[in-house]
């Protein structure tokens, strides 16, 4: 039986970190204000800038504050989580303490009497062969077990280096249309995911390019909704952004959280 709700809010790619206090505060406000008004909240990955293991939360007041906010929200509405590419190491301990339910990527849910396929989105970026190879390795249980056995300061150092490299690559790719396409999802991957889940409505994050798409590939056609990333702390990178996708009996639309 797939989860069924009359209304839901969906968010992703908040990349929460202590160095982005305005973004974090907007998430805390979201948990208190907008989120309790629906039946379910779905967080489709990359809630944190990086996650090096559930044990790290014990020494992080910031992560504990986020944990408390979600735990409080979970007492009011059903809350779901789906791993992202930055926080795929979030484990059972954090999920249990927050009261969330962990979903596989992709997953099928029913919202407002419609079937939706939910994904983070990174697995759909199949034109980026280098990233897909990296993803296949870091998702192996043995690799994760070895990484989590390292001292915490080593894990944090590795995560910081990967974060810096990823940011530098993203900044350089803003100049290249070809590279931007490489970072985006492919129609082939979307078609395959929807075919496997027998759906025609897809919601994902990861690409930071929020938009509603009507697409087709071969004999398949579908709707694709892309979730926004959140950033209220770096105005120099563009306009502040934070939105959520609202689905209820009135339809599907983006809710701009900057204006609320």
CATH class of 4-256: alpha beta
Q: Is the pLDDT of residue 174 over 60?
A: no
221 Cβ contact list (under 8 Å, min separation 6): 200, 214, 215
pLDDT tens for each residue of 190-205:
999 999 999 999 999 9
Distance CA 216, CA 3 (A): 27
pTM metric for this prediction: 0.93
pLDDT tens for each residue of 78-121:
999 999 999 999 999 999 999 999 999 999 999 999 999 999 99
Determine contact, residues 35/74, Cβ cutoff 8 Å.
no
Helix ranges restricted to H, the chain: 21-32, 61-74, 92-98, 129-138, 141-148, 152-173, 177-183, 187-196
CA dihedral 142, 145, 147, 152 (to 10 degrees): 180
Determine contact, residues 8/40, Cβ cutoff 8 Å.
yes
Q: Is the pLDDT of residue 29 over 60?
A: yes
Q: Where are the domains of the chain?
A: 4-256
70 against 241, higher pLDDT: 70
Residue 43: phi and psi, rounded to 5, are: -105, 110
Residue 58 banded pLDDT, cuts 50, 70, 90: confident
pLDDT at 182: 73
Distance CA 183, CA 177 (A): 10
Distance CA 61, CA 154 (A): 19
Q: Is the pLDDT of residue 168 over 70?
A: no
| Residue-averaged pLDDT of the chain | 92
Q: What percent of the chain has pLDDT over 70?
A: 92
127 against 171, higher pLDDT: 127
Q: Is the pLDDT of residue 229 over 80?
A: yes
Determine contact, residues 228/210, Cβ cutoff 8 Å.
yes
């Amino acid at each position: 039986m797939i989860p069924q709700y009359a209304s839901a809010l969906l968010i992703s790619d908040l990349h929460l970190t202590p160095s982005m206090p305005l973004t974090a505060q907007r998430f805390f406000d979201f948990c208190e204000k907008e989120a309790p008004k629906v039946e379910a909240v779905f967080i489709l990955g990359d809630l944190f800038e990086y996650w090096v293991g559930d044990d790290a939360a014990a020494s992080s007041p910031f992560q504990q504050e986020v944990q408390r906010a979600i735990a409080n929200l979970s007492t009011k509405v059903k809350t779901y989580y789906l791993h992202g590419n930055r926080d795929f190491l979030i484990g059972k301990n954090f999920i249990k303490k927050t009261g969330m339910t962990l979903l596989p990527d992709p997953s099928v849910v029913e919202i407002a009497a419609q079937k939706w396929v939910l994904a983070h989105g990174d697995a759909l970026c199949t034109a980026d062969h280098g990233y897909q190879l990296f993803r296949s390795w870091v998702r192996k249980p043995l690799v994760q077990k070895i990484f989590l056995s390292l001292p915490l300061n080593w894990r944090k150092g590795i995560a910081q280096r990967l974060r810096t490299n990823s940011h530098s690559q993203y900044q350089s790719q803003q100049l290249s249309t070809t590279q931007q396409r490489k970072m985006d999802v492919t129609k082939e991957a979307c078609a395959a995911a929807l075919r496997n889940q027998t759906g025609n409505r897809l919601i994902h994050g990861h690409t930071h390019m929020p938009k509603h798409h009507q697409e087709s590939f071969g004999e398949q056609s579908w709707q694709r909704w892309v979730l926004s990333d959140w950033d209220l702390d770096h105005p120099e990178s563009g306009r502040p952004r934070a939105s959520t996708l609202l689905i209820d009996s009135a339809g599907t639309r983006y809710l701009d959280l900057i204006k609320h």
